Chain A
Amino acid sequence: MHTDPLVAVFHAEHGRVLARLIGLLGDFDLAEEALADAYAIAAAKWRADGVPEHPAAWLVITARNRAIDRIRSARRLDSKLAALAEEPAPAPAEGPVLDDRLRLFFTCCHPSLGRQAQVALILRCLGGLSTEEVARLFLVSESTVQQRIVRAKRKIRGAGIPFRVPGQDELAHRLPAVLAVIYLLFTEGYAATSGPELIKVGLCEEAIRLSRVLHELLPEPAVSGLLALLLLTDARRAARVDSVGRLVPLEEQDRGSWNQALIDEGRQLVSGSAGPYAVQAAIAAVHSDAPTPEETDWPQIVELYGMLAPSPMVELNRAIAVAMASGPEAGLRLLEHVRLDSHLLPAARADLLRRAGRQAEAVAAYEQALDLVGNQVEREYLLRRRSELTT
């Protein structure tokens, strides 16, 4: 645990402070530079004088003053400087809709930026992660992340992407991008597409933290749905891997180790939620309702999958639910129509063939899945299943 108060303030306030500064200065880079200066000043001053009463406000004011110095020394003197110097000290807290972090969410996820740039920006600016940390989470090089961020900032400035929350009429179009980025962070954390570990805890936690902040700022039903989904899914995280790091499928998980507090919180949110994430959250809630796998209400899950917009992943999951409700042969028939370029399709087929007692076909399907799988933990799981059938 970090005991340094500056580290604690950084974790709690970074997104808020940076968002406020970007709002004041209208310049991502200047805001980041000035804030770095303010942290350096804080490191010395807080140790000597103690942490100020409103650390976030202190950081904003100090960074603003540093920004003025920087503008002055760079001779970037313009009307902005005068306006800044006049600006009254920013208030420590603001009303929900006017919060700069909300503006930053929408700016970082502007539809004219590529998805990868959106992800990098949001982790960097709202999550306070360093480019090195972002790179490590996504298993790409630091220079790639750096480049994406530089390009995105250049586009925000050059193309005139505004720092604002879209109006009510546009919100319905713009909000899905923000939700999609957070959901992408979570899914990448929950089932890493590659690498040695199944779960990247840091990404899951960051995604939940961001969705909590977003939900606090914008308590829309679509946001509630996403937060509920993440909480209900994350509640099962610890049970998904055993003590030696092997994958444990849902039906074999120790339900006692599911995080009940997260389940309760997620279930409460589901009732006031709407949209595709809310439907998925409802599915997760049905799973957590069942004290044992056998008691799962599969017909209800089948029905819920039917409410989602059709996609290969939805069809795949629906087929599995149908198999659980009406037998493996019914699921296998549905799987025949699924077109998905992923190990998940042959892995699901293998599982249903195994349940149906069609051993030889199951082994062949496991082999197909093994050819496609990228994650080491999932690979070992598939190997284990296959060897159970052949010995």
Chain B
Amino acid sequence: MKYLTMIYVDESVPADYTRMSSDYEDYTRQLVEAGVLKDGARLLASSTATTVRVRDDEELFTDGPFAEAREQLGGYYVFDCANLDEALKWAAQCPGAREGAVEVRPLAH
């Protein structure tokens, strides 16, 4: 089964990029070696986001992410795992889970 793993981070907290990128490199390598990784990317800050809505045929663009929450989507992975427990085990290893939160959702085929 494929699972989308979304990593939410508090953007107001300054990140230690050097440490973080090496943690993520290690983590990503492990995912690749285990054959679990299907896709993944880091997103730029939510200040670069634009949200689109169409209401009554009118296109509305707003500056910023869909939800004004403290924690914003910062990146994602797509795992291929046997079941949820396996996906959760990998998600718990994600460096982002230590400070922010990681949501795991199965993909509809």
The 3 closest A-B CB pairs, nearest first, are A162-B83, A160-B83, A160-B1
User: Which residues of B, 36-87, contact A by the 8 Å Cβ criterion?
Assistant: 81-85, 87
CB of A159 within 8 A of CB of B85, answer no
Interface membership of A161, Cβ < 8 A: yes
State A160–B89 Cα separation when bound (angstroms).
13
Interface membership of A112, Cβ < 8 A: yes
Interface membership of A256, Cβ < 8 A: no
The smallest beta-carbon distance between B3 and chain A, in angstroms, is 8
Closest to A161 in B: B84
Interface residues on A, range: 10 to 19
Interface membership of A95, Cβ < 8 A: no
CB of A112 within 8 A of CB of B106, answer no
B106 contacts which of A158, A166, A170 (Cβ < 8 Å)? A158
A112 contacts which of B1, B81, B84 (Cβ < 8 Å)? B84
User: Which residues of B, 2-19, contact A by the 8 Å Cβ criterion?
Assistant: 3
State A158–B87 Cα separation when bound (angstroms).
13
A–B pairs, 25, beta carbons within 8 Å: A110-B84, A112-B84, A112-B88, A158-B106, A159-B84, A159-B105, A159-B106, A160-B1, A160-B3, A160-B81, A160-B82, A160-B83, A160-B84, A160-B87, A160-B106, A161-B83, A161-B84, A161-B85, A162-B82, A162-B83, A162-B84, A162-B85, A164-B85, A166-B85, A170-B85
Measured between beta carbons, the chain B residues less than 8 angstroms from A162 are 82-85
State A169–B81 Cα separation when bound (angstroms).
19
The smallest beta-carbon distance between A170 and chain B, in angstroms, is 8
B residues lining the A interface (CB < 8 Å): 1, 3, 81-85, 87-88, 105-106
User: Which residues of A, 188-231, contact B by the 8 Å Cβ criterion?
Assistant: none
State A9–B105 Cα separation when bound (angstroms).
40
Measured between beta carbons, the chain A residues less than 8 angstroms from B1 are 160
The smallest beta-carbon distance between B90 and chain A, in angstroms, is 13
Measured between beta carbons, the chain A residues less than 8 angstroms from B83 are 160-162
Proximity string of chain A (151-175) to chain B, C-beta cutoff 8 Å, 1 when within and 0 when not? 0000000111110101000100000
User: Which residues of A, 128-183, contact B by the 8 Å Cβ criterion?
Assistant: 158-162, 164, 166, 170
State A161–B1 Cα separation when bound (angstroms).
11
Measured between beta carbons, the chain B residues less than 8 angstroms from A110 are 84
New A-B contacts (20) at CB < 8 Å, excluding given A160-B83, A161-B85, A162-B83? A110-B84, A112-B84, A112-B88, A158-B106, A159-B84, A159-B105, A159-B106, A160-B1, A160-B3, A160-B81, A160-B82, A160-B87, A160-B106, A161-B84, A162-B82, A162-B84, A162-B85, A164-B85, A166-B85, A170-B85
Among B81, B84, B105, B106, max chain A CB count under 10 A is at B84
The smallest beta-carbon distance between A111 and chain B, in angstroms, is 8
State A153–B1 Cα separation when bound (angstroms).
17
State A144–B82 Cα separation when bound (angstroms).
32
State A166–B106 Cα separation when bound (angstroms).
20
The smallest beta-carbon distance between B36 and chain A, in angstroms, is 14
Measured between beta carbons, the chain A residues less than 8 angstroms from B106 are 158-160
Measured between beta carbons, the chain B residues less than 8 angstroms from A159 are 84, 105-106
Closest to A164 in B: B85
State A159–B106 Cα separation when bound (angstroms).
5
Measured between beta carbons, the chain A residues less than 8 angstroms from B87 are 160
State A361–B1 Cα separation when bound (angstroms).
63
State A344–B24 Cα separation when bound (angstroms).
49
Measured between beta carbons, the chain A residues less than 8 angstroms from B88 are 112
Measured between beta carbons, the chain B residues less than 8 angstroms from A164 are 85
Measured between beta carbons, the chain B residues less than 8 angstroms from A160 are 1, 3, 81-84, 87, 106
State A158–B105 Cα separation when bound (angstroms).
9
State A151–B87 Cα separation when bound (angstroms).
21
The smallest beta-carbon distance between B51 and chain A, in angstroms, is 27
The smallest beta-carbon distance between A369 and chain B, in angstroms, is 39
User: Which residues of A, 107-127, contact B by the 8 Å Cβ criterion?
Assistant: 110, 112
